[in-house]
Amino acid sequence: MQDHFWQGDEYMDPVIGLGKRTSMGKVRGLMLQALSSGIESVPDAPQEIVNLFEHLDRKPEWFDEETFERGRIVLANSTRLGRLIALAMNFITTSQASSVANAVGSTGQYTNPKTVMRRHLETAHFFHRVSLPRGSHRFSETFQEIVKVRFMHSQVRFAARKRWGEKTFGEHGNPISNTDMALGITAFGIQNLIGDSAFGRDFATSDLDAAVRHWGYIAYIFGVSENLIPLNFQEAVEQFDYILSTHGKAPEWSPIVADSLLIVPEEAVNLVSNPILRGLLTWTAVPFFHGLLYHFGGDDLSYRVLSTRYTSRVRMRIQAIFAVTVGTAIGTLSIVLGSLPGHEARMIARASRGSPTGRSALLLIEMMAKKVGVREVTFETHDMTNANDFKPIRA
């Protein structure tokens, strides 16, 4: 896994290189045509795009549609509590892990409310989309959205690597490396199940393995090398532990990235028009989320994130006690509801429209985004980005 910190995306990076040499708009158009109608619909397609779609059109040997769908159902039924825990932990990873925070922070897009909210909207849209049925089907909207996000990540990687220079590349690895992308299997896939289990919810090993296989195939579409894709839950957790252990010291961008992430729960509360209810949520919902972050993230890391809001560790610890108390009650209720007859049928029905939590989050962020004039999800933010738009990092 260590070697793959220097690997980018074997198939998409050459496509971006082609776009930089010719026309990014034209290359995007050719890619979108091949995505929606097949590579055979693109006459005289450049070899870089042909190679990409040979990869995308091939299912790996370990892929199984039934297992993929079971994993989707299990993940779509993770509780709101589990999702909040995963969100809190990903706030820490995004803002404090050196490789992630460097890639995010150096874009400079976290200093502009509109670009901040555009990223949040695109992120929410992506995570809801991958929870929908039929996502593994080659011509589904889900499959196509994963590839669009992959295209955008390669654009960032190309510009950031050029801006940072070869010395930084030699010491730190590739921006948005293959190893960092593999982290998503656990960070974005099964971490919410780990959060649920922390409050007593049990999962069958086969369901945990299916969830890993589900996100494993998403990672494959996203460009993660097959030898980095875990095929069962135990492998995934071991891989997760290793990648997290390599993330090193938080970079200079960490405070501003943390601040932009904490905006999300705060702005969600501000959408409430009734001042009494808004005040109640400000003193309960936001501290509850902060408490989860502090409890699961630990004293030092959580303090670095939350200190952009306040500096009292005593206050943070009180919030953690509050969050664990409420979380335990919520977890107990979900266990009771899960033991009632018809649970499996309810799981399947609930997942038929994707993750209910993801759908709610998307609606909230759509409302927040409209307030700053962001209404469309295009994943085209970096079509006009060049290396000089990025900030250098300290090697």
**Residue 212 within a domain:** yes
pLDDT per position as a tens digit, 304-325: 999 888 888 999 999 999 999 9
In 3-state terms, what secondary structure has residue 108? coil
**Residue 130 within a domain:** yes
105-131 as b/e, with b when 16 or more CB fall inside 10 Å?
bbbebbeeeebbbbbbbbbbbbbbbbb
Residue with the two structure tokens 């825990």:
85
Give percent of the chain above pLDDT 70. Answer: 99
- Residue type for 355, please? S
**Residue 34 within a domain:** no
As for how many domains the chain has, the answer is 1
Q: Is 257 within 8 Å of 101 (Cβ atoms)?
A: yes
DSSP 374: -
pLDDT per position as a tens digit, 199-247: 999 999 999 999 999 999 999 999 999 999 999 999 999 999 988 888 7
In 3-state terms, what secondary structure has residue 100? helix
Residue with the two structure tokens 């921006």:
175
The reported pTM is 0.95
* Domain membership of residue 136 as a residue range: 3-8+62-375
Q: Is 245 within 8 Å of 227 (Cβ atoms)?
A: no
pLDDT of amino acid 395: 57
**Residue 381 within a domain:** no
**Residue 356 within a domain:** yes
CA quadruple 233, 236, 237, 241: dihedral, nearest 10: 180
Counting runs of H as helices and runs of E as strands, what totals does the chain give?
18, 0
pLDDT per position as a tens digit, 87-139: 999 999 999 988 888 888 888 877 788 889 999 999 999 999 999 999 999 99
**Residue 27 within a domain:** no
**Residue 306 within a domain:** yes
pLDDT per position as a tens digit, 333-378: 999 998 999 999 999 999 999 999 999 999 999 999 999 999 999 9
**Residue 167 within a domain:** yes
| C-alpha distances out from residue 128 to 131, 353, 362, 383, Å | 5, 10, 7, 24
